[in-house]
Chain A
Amino acid sequence: MTQATNSVITDEMRAAIGVEGPQAVLEVEKTNCRMFARSVGHKDPVFFDEAAAKARGYRGIVAPPGFLGTPIFNPASGSGGAPGEMGGRGYSVPYKRVLNGGTDYEYFPEADVICAGDTITARTKISGFEESEGSLGPMLITRRETTYTNQHGKVVAKMYGTLIQY
């Protein structure tokens, strides 16, 4: 993170690194595990059939790769956005365009596997900023990390997201 003279990274932004945002509660249910798996095209019965999943040693229907639960939607509170959304971070960036640069999912199967019936708490923090000059011009890359903890207090997954503003 070199400090170019024209850097858009401010002290406020540096102070925001590592600060966890508000928690989001996500529900992992049979209906949404199946819907997610169906929409991807999965065929493995562990994502659909509770008896098959249990026969393979899981607590219930397994959450398919990339599915970390559905945020609780409530029109009254405007909630229901995916965890990892920025919200009011208390800083502004002089770029108007935003791209989702990519997403990585990390699982911790030794701790626990996410299954239908789980309630997951997710918290997102900024892990760093980078600046670069690409074909789109100068850009700010924001790296974010969301930690997913299940109802037994086990960290079951992390999501690493890259946001590109230019």
Chain B
Amino acid sequence: MQYLSLTLLIFLPLIGALIIWGPWFAHNEVKIRRFAKGFGGVIFIYSLFFLAFFNPAKEGFQFEQTLTLPGGKPWLEPLGSNFALGVDGISLLLIVLTTFLVLLALIASKYSITKRHKFYYSMIFLLQTAILGVFAAKDLFLFIIFWEIELIPMYFLISVWGSGRKEYSAMKFILYTFAGSIFMLAAILAIVYYNYLQTGIFTFDLTTYTYMKAFAYPTLLGILAFLGFFIAFAVKLPVVPFHTWLPDAHVDAPTPVSMLLAGILLKMGGYGLIRMNLQIMPEIMQILAPLVIILGVINILYAAIVATAQQDLKKLVAYSSVSHMGIVLLGLGAMNVAGVSGAVFQMVAHGVISAGLFMIVGVIYLRTHTRQIPELGGLGQNSPKIMYFAMIIALGSLGLPLLIGFAAETLAFYGAFTSNVFSGFSLFDVYIPVSIQILTAIAIIGVIFTAVYILWMFQRVFWGNIFHKWRKFHDASPHEMVVLISLILVIVVFGLNPTGMTDIFGPTVSSLMKLI
């Protein structure tokens, strides 16, 4: 137990990055990859230990750790910021998801990365450090530092190894996210300063603002701070008007990076919404929940409709990500245990499923060098394995029961339906009785649209007659098999036994809801 150090977990990938990057490491591609995979595996196993020793019943953070400078001073004393780490059920789950998906991305990198291997693998590890830091930070300042660090490796990963308009996409991604996080910085400073005014203590410690929260924020300040947080996370999640960086970034990123982008990076937005918006200022969330819910509904339906019209396979999958993250938004807006559980579940489910979908797209792209759906067709004929893997993942994506997405969607929809945050609103002094029940029912139409675009895509890509030019399309290679089978294993296992998942984060969500 005492060997489980979150600091070590976070900086382990960084160590890996330094080892690979340094001049002492061989320039041999195979050696680099082998080392990276091994190191990623070690990190994954190490994170599993955290899961094993985690006590779900305990309230608050666990594995807490505060790093100080020699002499016991906080690392940023003048700011009142501590290098404090800790996890609860939600963040631990996302940490394990991160280590898992990074490992798979490393395995998947074999064919899609053809140049500058040292740089690539160290960037992936740097990314992992930043993401793990975001999930494990127990200090607002630390949180935002890791949040920003994550942009750097992502920028390089897209712009160096990407395809198409890669510089444009990378720049769009970094600028968009950065513009969003400025609002978050402002919001953090606002609440910290307000806390200072109230209590005379200048601190960034998260527990002060969440579990030990002593006061409610005044409405105006609260709403502004809430919106500041919300914009940052809305860009990351993404929420519909702020989503356009995502299709571009996904389309131009290489396959493993797309997997990570959809699988983990979007979850940072959802995690932030839970950690900051819901946990720090639930009373404001209560006021603004209609906004969150309406945006969630728009996300689900709008993105699904847009996805239907996409000709580019990766864009379609990207928009399906947007649509699925709408469910997270809907569940969070519900503000009850079922809804938030559904949102958390959906984050994990979507992490696995979208990674799988991007892997499938990558597998196809590797063989055909095209992602245009009309140019594909009948691929199932030569590659039944890929077809079946794709089918299971696609069915998981459309929320088939006994696959991982279903329990998440059901919980989120049920939570939203039974929520009492929203029973109509007045617009220009006219009361419009659009209750959350009606909105949820509208959102559930999304399951039809999801089926439409996913199955239509599947039909056009894998079924029908094969084109002559794809006659030599070969089936999944062992590397791809490993990645896809691992993902499918998770999809099926937690689909059959969702309780295994809810047991980890359920008590955290319950204790979180008790704060409201």
Our verdict on whether A and B bind, yes or no, reads: no
Binding site for B on A (CB under 8 A): none
Binding site for A on B (CB under 8 A): none
